Chains A and B, each alone.
Chain A
Amino acid sequence: MFETLVKTFVYALETYAGLGLIFAVPFVWFGIQRVDSEAQGSAIGFRMLILPGVAAFWPMFLHRWTRRIVEPPVEKNPHRISAKP
């Protein structure tokens, strides 16, 4: 029973990471500038640097890319929330 649980966990983790890598490689090349304007024209070094993180957080970027959300969310804290015009 324990071994089955562990196998399920490990295979789920490996599948998630594999899908993340498959998504991340084309995304850091073609998609990143569509969800963050500051990434436009950025060099290959930057794209390689964020690749592991994109592979880890790929559902968030897939959501933004497919929903055509063009800028990251605006930061919120108590001052910023009450400072809204």
Chain B
Amino acid sequence: MLTIAIFLPTLAALVIALTPRSRPDLPRAIALVFSLVVLALAAIMFVSLDRGFQGFQFTNHVTWVRTSLGGFSFQYYVGLDGISAALVLLTAFLNVVAVLVSWGIALRPKEYFIWLLVIESGVLGVFSSLDLLLFFLFWEVELVPMYLLISIWGSGRKEYSATKFVLYTVAGSSFMIVGILALGFTAHTFEIPEIMRNGVREAAIPLGFIFFALFSGFAVKLPMFPLHTWLPDAHTDAPTAVSVILAGALLKMGGYGIIRLCVGLLPQTAHDWGLAITLLGAIGVVYGALVTLRQTDLKRLIAYSSVSHMGFVLIGVGALGQLGLTGATVQMVTHGLVTGMLFVMVGLVYERTHTRQIPELGGLARQMPWIAAAFVVAGVASLGLPMLAGFVGEVVVFLGAFSKYAATTIVAVSGVVLAAGYILWMLQRVFFGPPKEQWAHLGDARHWSEWLAMGAMTASIVAVGIYPQWIIDAIDHGVVPIASRLG
């Protein structure tokens, strides 16, 4: 079932490739149907994941390429635990939303949806790979489609941003593959469960080097301060749906990699570096929040707030305890939902006003009350209002980190205060205040796809916020084995 879920988007991409050029409305319908099916599969797997059984489930294990020499082989080995099940569900959900918000794409729709679906396959693959090489393989899949999506369908300095994205990612993944190779040869296997069971002992290559190589690859993707500068550019210039996927799913690959590989496979080394990770996370939170305050472009503002929010993930990881890791994962899921929704909302506003400059907007709540309402929900979720999704992740992270690094955590909490500042200020400037003459003719959400995207996102944020246990339960299932090895 997992394999089907991973490759269904690719199949959809192939089907779309075969549609005739004369039917530009077909690609989006096919994309929607297939991503709904993937979402259904992901939901079934999430629900039926056996919480009582430790270990990976829904596994498929096939030796794919056997080179017969030196016992080395490529494995197709996928499976889910709680962490990956939650992230797979998130990815599948966001992809449906991404298709919905792309409903009006008129420029080369066929290619657009093909690339969108290819990315989904790649991301799902990353979250479910249990073999390091397969992991890397899937990791690289998103690169080129992302480049094309930003540089063809983007806006502003789109080529600059797309190239910057590629250069950063490639630099990161070149470190990562070296780390993966070194890890594999040190452990004599590339299978993640196998390495988790046996551990990695000191070998020819210092483990710290392997850890560093892997960590740099993931830190770029997360993104961690000071490697974050590609993110605001890529987000700002990407089309709405791509921003949603980028913020919601792609950044999570970085956090997932840190938890699964850096912490999961090299717990001892992670211990040595815990404080450094926490500090970098805290710097990211505060720095990101401060920079966010100064932004005048809506998308850039949300992009920088992402940097700040992903800092919490690092703080949670750096605490190196069960609570911290759970918090980090929950934070990833909630950030995916909240920031995804913020980008959806910005997209809706931009479609109407054709500007994202905050000073040019104002009083929009009058023309588009529903969009304003949804935007406010997403906004306050982002600043961590209780009963909404954003709150859950941050609180668990703080609980996990406080006992270990109290001072750092207190500094990081100030990030939440700043978040309240930039979000409320932004909402006030865009939706409230005196209405402006030039926006008088604008209307509210009309098309069913817009309603559906908005509604689904709001519902999910509220659902996670009111009863987070359903997602924490699953995540704990994945975190416990990792945390138990941290000692």
Indicate whether A and B interact: no
B residues whose Cβ falls under 8 Å from a Cβ of A: none
